[in-house]
Amino acid sequence: MTNIVLSNLVAGIEPSPTEETSFLANTLKRQGVDVISFAQGEPDFDTPNYIKKAAIKAINEGFTKYTDVGGIIELKEAVVEKLKRQNNLEYDISGVIIGNGGKQLLYEAFATLCNPGDEVLIPTPCYVSYADQIRLTGARAVFVPTTEENEFVPCLEDVQKLWNPKVKVFVINSPCNPTGAVFPQEETRRIMDFLVENKTFVITDEVYEYLLYDGAKHISPAALDPKYKQWCIVVNSLSKTYAMTGWRIGYAAGPKEIINGMNSLQGHLTGNVNSIAQKAAAEALLGPQDDIARMVEEYAKRKDYMVNRINSIEGLSCIEPKGAFYVFANVKNLFGRTYNGNKLENDKDVANFFLKAAHVAVVPGIAFAYEGYVRFVFAKSLGTIKEGLDRIEKAIGELT
Ligand code: GLU
């Protein structure tokens, strides 16, 4: 037998925990187990019709060939228009790139900015892929833990404690996955002033910018002060806003030297994004935007139900998310209890227990570099959320 040894690069990363948990839930479903999955963050709505029609038109017109690596001009212009309209940010198309989802662009941005030995500061809890993407560049992710008491918002003093001359990049993800925190403008400004003074780039991941509740507002950190923009790489995606997860469309905007670097890298990795999806994306950005409000209104109802319900279940608690579609629930009160003779010792045990005893999939906090919590997705129907939480409540009631 061949002794297969993977490269240090790939052996050094873990499979994406959200993709992995979702795969596990889907595999169980295929085996006939009635699993409810609150694992992967994706809208349960269908892609709006006007977007689908643009894709069908593109196919019928034979728009099915390679495009420029960084995207078709029509879509880049739509992105420029959207950034002006929605974010009050002015770019020209040389400062914009289209990628295969936000995830690819995040990696390209890290890889374009970081050398081995550099550091990237990330407030935690944080999105599951940042640390491994950074590891792939040879740089090191350094976590800046936030607290539940402070609603998972980072503060300048904590950033200052960890900043050092090796820090090349800081990551802002607001609204935040997995906490739903929306970072207040004042604190973001204080942090941005410090970073810009210290010539630190900021990757601002804004994929949940439209999913806001109870009056919360999103302002891109790049737009808070004219001096910030040249230090920012704004990363965004159509997946969550337009229920287009499977289409794989994201975009980034930033200084053109950086965008050019990302473009070169993308040219060797994937080439252009699917030509048909690009046409659909241009239509999504320029067409009627009413579907977003309709979806957000639904998410808000589900959020209210999920938060109230989680707080009513003994052993679980959560704060109210202000954005995105996640609840980051504290499960520490379940530690020490026993399921089938096995003691629950950490959030991974709790997630396993939910899956085994209640057939409900959630992602453990450790996947977000933050222990003691599990993440629930509320982009599910109210009926599904109710059923999932009923099952969890029952299973917790049976713990000893
Ligand atoms: N599943 C996607 C991802 O891992 C969406 C986001 C999420 O579930 O956190 O990139």
User: Is residue 1, in this structure, part of any structural domain at all?
Assistant: no
- 33 and 127 together in one domain: no
Q: What are 272's two structure tokens?
A: 């252009």
- Length of the chain equals 400
Q: What is the CATH number of the domain that holds 258?
A: 3.40.640.10
Look at ligand 1, atom 9, and give the residue with the nearest C-alpha: 41
- 170 and 189 together in one domain: yes
Domain residues for the domain of 177 are 49-286
Q: What is the CATH number of the domain that holds 393?
A: 3.90.1150.10
d(CA 74, CA 181): 34
- 29 and 177 together in one domain: no
Cis peptide bond upstream of 17, omega within 30: no
Q: What are 110's two structure tokens?
A: 């890290």
With a cut of 80, say whether residue 166 has pLDDT above it: yes
245 Cα to the center of ligand 1, angstroms: 9
How does the average pLDDT of the chain come out, rounded?
96
Q: What's the pLDDT tens digit per position in 246-284? A: 999 999 999 999 999 999 999 999 999 999 999 999 999
Q: What's the pLDDT tens digit per position in 13-60? A: 988 888 888 888 888 889 999 999 999 999 999 999 999 999 999 999
CA angle 206, 231, 203 (to 5 degrees): 30
Q: What's the pLDDT tens digit per position in 285-333? A: 999 999 999 999 999 999 999 999 999 999 999 999 999 999 999 999 9
User: Is residue 3, in this structure, part of any structural domain at all?
Assistant: no
Which residues sit with their C-beta closer than 6 Å to ligand 1? 16, 18-19, 40-41, 103, 128, 177
Atom of ligand 1 nearest to the CA of 22: 1
User: Is residue 337, in this structure, part of any structural domain at all?
Assistant: yes
Query: What's the pLDDT score for residue 339?
Result: 93
Indicate if the alpha-carbon torsion angle 244, 240, 250, 144 is positive or negative.
Answer: negative
Within 13 Å and on the Cβ side, how many CA atoms surround 29? 11
Atom of ligand 1 nearest to the CA of 178: 9
Mean pLDDT of 67-81: 98
| Pocket test residue of 128, 207, 374 for ligand 1, highest count of atoms within 8 A of CB | 128
- 62 and 157 together in one domain: yes
| Pocket test residue of 14, 21, 42, 248 for ligand 1, highest count of atoms within 8 A of CB | 42
- 187 and 255 together in one domain: yes
398 Cα to the center of ligand 1, angstroms: 31
User: Is residue 177, in this structure, part of any structural domain at all?
Assistant: yes
386 Cα to the center of ligand 1, angstroms: 22
Query: What's the pLDDT score for residue 21?
Result: 84
Task: Specify the number of domains making up the chain.
Answer: 2
1 Cα to the center of ligand 1, angstroms: 36
- Collapsing DSSP states into helix, strand and coil, what is residue 131? helix
User: Is residue 374, in this structure, part of any structural domain at all?
Assistant: yes
Q: Are 330 and 317 in contact (CB under 8 A)?
A: yes
270 Cα to the center of ligand 1, angstroms: 20
Q: What's the pLDDT tens digit per position in 324-363? A: 999 999 999 999 999 989 999 999 999 999 999 999 999 9
Domain endpoint, select from 254, 286, 318: 286
- 102 and 158 together in one domain: yes
User: Is residue 229, in this structure, part of any structural domain at all?
Assistant: yes
- 281 and 298 together in one domain: no
Query: What's the pLDDT score for residue 2?
Result: 83
Q: Which of 132, 112, 111 is nearest to 122 (CA)?
A: 132
Domain endpoint, select from 243, 259, 286: 286
Q: Which of 340, 370, 364 is nearest to 352 (CA)?
A: 364
- 143 and 262 together in one domain: yes
pTM: 0.95
- 67 and 201 together in one domain: yes
User: Is residue 273, in this structure, part of any structural domain at all?
Assistant: yes
d(CA 246, CA 22): 14
Query: What's the pLDDT score for residue 20?
Result: 82
- 177 and 138 together in one domain: yes
- 78 and 193 together in one domain: yes
Give kind and range of the element (H or E) at residue 194.
Answer: helix 185-197
Domain endpoint, select from 257, 286, 315: 286
Atom of ligand 1 nearest to the CA of 239: 5
Q: Which of 120, 138, 118 is nearest to 130 (CA)?
A: 120
User: Is residue 86, in this structure, part of any structural domain at all?
Assistant: yes
- 130 and 67 together in one domain: yes
